[in-house]
């Protein structure tokens, strides 16, 4: 399976780690033999249509800061768009950073991949938050698949749980802690009484926060995930502008203390129960949804199965890369069974 990897940050590099570590198991267990034919980053691209040597690329990236520095396979002038248009591959992985205002370069990369007959796996939430219904239609029109497990819950299979395990049931409501950074900040503030600023600084150091942490703090990242869950799991047709959003900037140590005295915690909750919302809410400390640190948790309320909560690490490079691997295998299974949806 030939793969183009657009964006070689923490997630992209973790994915190449997984490919290297799991080469033999992937082949033996799934007959899956990924051949990465091109990788791009902000400095340009590295291309080898026979398959890049990922160890070599990783060490060049670490040493030089860009894969384009490869003296044999590097191309400083080539953009993601050039690569997607000119290089043949079955799959394009979109792992550039999220831009919640324009969705770019993600939206253009995904559209070009569809137009050139490539299936897409994205970890970039921007395109989905702004244009989910359009992108799904475009994928169907071009008879290609679009997968995005890593956009919600990091490595935790939140989307797959609802889509596959609750198949046939009707999910009526969803409530979730969908952002690791804000959950980490609120936990640090509640448990260690540290200031908002200190907790944010530490979340950034640990690599949980978005490039622009306002996306986390102001609730946009959670809202993007609400859009993805609503469209994919509940067949809603809404985008980011339809979500009512309040972030956590105004949460004080005092408010957390008052909640704590009532046996509650303040958490940033994304909900789809009528109108989609993101807002800080008080929840009971013994509610399964009330997880701490960087954990995410989502409660699904279904017509027959009732309330179920799935919990796991919601952010991190290797966790998100594991979701990409799941998506790649899912596409492989769909293609083997000739199912294009
Ligand atoms: N910044 C996000 C979070 C990363 O903290 O949850 C994963 O989407």
pLDDT tens readout for residues 71-128: 999 999 999 999 999 999 999 999 999 999 999 999 999 999 999 999 999 999 999 9
Residue whose C-alpha is closest to residue 241's, from 280, 276, 212, 279: 276
Cβ neighbors of 241 (< 8 A, separation 6 or more) are none
Task: Give the domain ranges of the chain.
Answer: 2-155+318-340, 168-313
Segment 262-291 shows an average pLDDT of 97
Contact assessment for residue 280 and residue 266, using Cβ atoms and an 8 Å cutoff: yes
CATH class held by domain 168-313: alpha beta
Segment 290-300 shows an average pLDDT of 96
Express each pLDDT in 147-192 by its tens digit. Answer: 999 999 989 999 999 998 888 899 999 999 999 999 999 999 999 9
Structure tokens of 202? 């530490």
pLDDT-derived band of residue 315, with 50, 70 and 90 as boundaries?
Answer: confident
pLDDT score, position 43:
97
The structure tokens 């990783």 sit at 58
With a Cβ cut-off of 6 Å, ligand 1 is lined by 154, 179-181, 208-210, 216, 221, 314-315
Residue 273 has pLDDT above 80, yes or no: yes
Alpha helices (H) in 31-70, listed in sequence order? 54-64
Residue 8 has pLDDT above 80, yes or no: yes
pLDDT-derived band of residue 51, with 50, 70 and 90 as boundaries?
Answer: very high
Distance in Å, CA 42 to ligand 1 centroid: 21
Contact assessment for residue 209 and residue 98, using Cβ atoms and an 8 Å cutoff: no
Structure tokens of 304? 């027959």
Distance in Å, CA 77 to ligand 1 centroid: 31
Residue 41 has pLDDT above 80, yes or no: yes
The structure tokens 């701490």 sit at 292
Within 10 angstroms of residue 235's Cβ, the number of other Cβ atoms is 8
Max Cα-Cα span within the chain: 64
Residue whose C-alpha is closest to residue 149's, from 229, 67, 73, 50: 229
Q: What whole-number distance in Å separates Cα of residue 201 and Cα of residue 197? A: 6
Q: What whole-number distance in Å separates Cα of residue 100 and Cα of residue 130? A: 7
pLDDT score, position 249:
94
Q: Is 225 a catalytic residue?
A: yes
pLDDT score, position 30:
85
Contact assessment for residue 213 and residue 322, using Cβ atoms and an 8 Å cutoff: no
Which CATH architecture best describes the domain 2-155+318-340?
3-Layer(aba) Sandwich (3.40)
Mean pLDDT of the chain: 95
Q: Of the residues 61, 125, 225, 332, which is catalytic?
A: 225
Instruction: Specify the pTM.
Output: 0.94
CA 319, 325, 329, 335: dihedral to nearest 10 degrees? 120
């Amino acid at each position: 399976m030939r793969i183009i990897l657009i964006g070689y940050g923490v997630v992209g590099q973790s994915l190449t780690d997984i490919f290297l570590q799991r080469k033999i198991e992937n082949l033996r267990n799934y007959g899956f033999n990924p051949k990465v034919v091109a990788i791009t980053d902000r400095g340009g691209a590295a291309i080898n249509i026979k398959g890049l040597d990922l160890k070599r690329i990783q060490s060049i990236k670490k040493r030089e800061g860009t894969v384009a520095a490869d003296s044999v396979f590097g191309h400083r002038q080539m953009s993601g768009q050039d690569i997607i248009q000119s290089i043949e591959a079955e799959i394009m992985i979109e792992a550039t950073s999220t831009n919640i205002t324009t969705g770019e370069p993600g939206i253009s990369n995904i559209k070009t991949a569809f137009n050139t007959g490539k299936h897409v796996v994205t970890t970039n939430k921007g395109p989905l938050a702004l244009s989910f219904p359009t992108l799904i239609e475009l994928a169907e029109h071009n008879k290609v698949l679009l997968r995005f497990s890593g956009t919600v819950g990091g490595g935790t299979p939140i989307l797959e749980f609802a889509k596959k395990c609750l198949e046939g049931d009707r999910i009526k409501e969803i409530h979730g802690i969908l952002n690791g950074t804000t959950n980490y900040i609120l936990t640090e503030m509640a448990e260690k009484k540290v200031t908002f600023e200190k907790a944010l600084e530490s979340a950034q150091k640990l690599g949980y926060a978005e490039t622009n942490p306002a996306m986390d703090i102001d609730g946009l990242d959670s809202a993007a995930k609400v859009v993805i869950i609503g469209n994919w799991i509940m067949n809603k047709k809404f985008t980011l502008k339809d979500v009512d959003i309040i972030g956590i900037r105004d949460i004080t140590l005092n408010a957390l203390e008052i909640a704590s005295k009532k046996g509650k915690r303040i958490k940033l909750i994304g909900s789809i129960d009528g109108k989609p919302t993101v807002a800080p809410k008080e929840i009971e400390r013994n509610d399964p949804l009330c997880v701490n640190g960087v954990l995410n948790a989502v409660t699904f309320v279904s017509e027959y199965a009732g309330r179920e909560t799935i919990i796991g690490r919601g952010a991190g490079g290797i966790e998100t890369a594991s979701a990409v691997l799941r998506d790649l295998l899912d596409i492989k299974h769909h293609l083997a069974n000739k199912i294009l949806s």
